[in-house]
Amino acid sequence: MKDVNKILDKLEELYPDAHCELEYTTAFELLIATILSAQCTDVRVNMVTRELFKKYNKPEDFASLPEEEIMEEIKTCGLYKSKGKKIKATSEMICRDYNGEVPDTLEELTKLPGVGRKTADVVLSNAFNKDAIAVDTHVFRVANRIGIVNTKTPEKTEFALMDVIPKHRWSHSHHVLIFHGRRMCKARKPECELCPIKGDCDFYKGKEWYFWESLRLQYFYHY
């Protein structure tokens, strides 16, 4: 059984400033930015939203825009046709069903077009200061590599993390796991030797075993 609190303590020491790297000033701006972040970097999203939100930053703004105009504004974020349709439909629904205010519950947020659990959790955690663990590709990879969880899907990862991480640490653990995934525990070339939690990491222990086993076999066959 992993000492999850010890692991999180080490990661928080490594990333004391871990936070949401999407730029926003309102819950609605964060919702739009998170929709745009699907298969796109936060850096790229921020480049787009800095200009976008100067012109349009309320549900009624996007609800009144033609889909084609939204798509043109967000084109460099990728998947712009799908995202444009979702932003338009979500904005219309917020105006129609929620008096222009972003809902603040998981149940209501996930009713919005294009809003799944991850997007909802990001908004709940960062805009409404509610305990939530949003599982993106970094959280999924890092949590499974370390061995905090052993899951096959982001949704199962979320529920498993909720079971092993104290509730008051849910939101910040999301940020430190993302920071670690972006800066050290990278998808292709993880910097395992520099990692302060390698002693607790199943992935590193597997690499270490493979290294020493390879040396042993080389020695065996050489002599």
Annotated active-site positions, please?
A: 118, 136
Whether the CB-CB separation of 35 and 119 falls below 8 Å is answered with: yes
d(CA 149, CA 134): 15
CB atoms within 10 A of CB 146: 23
d(CA 195, CA 201): 9
d(CA 185, CA 195): 8
Nearest to 45 by CA among 19, 69, 80: 80
d(CA 129, CA 104): 10
Nearest to 80 by CA among 89, 65, 64, 69: 69
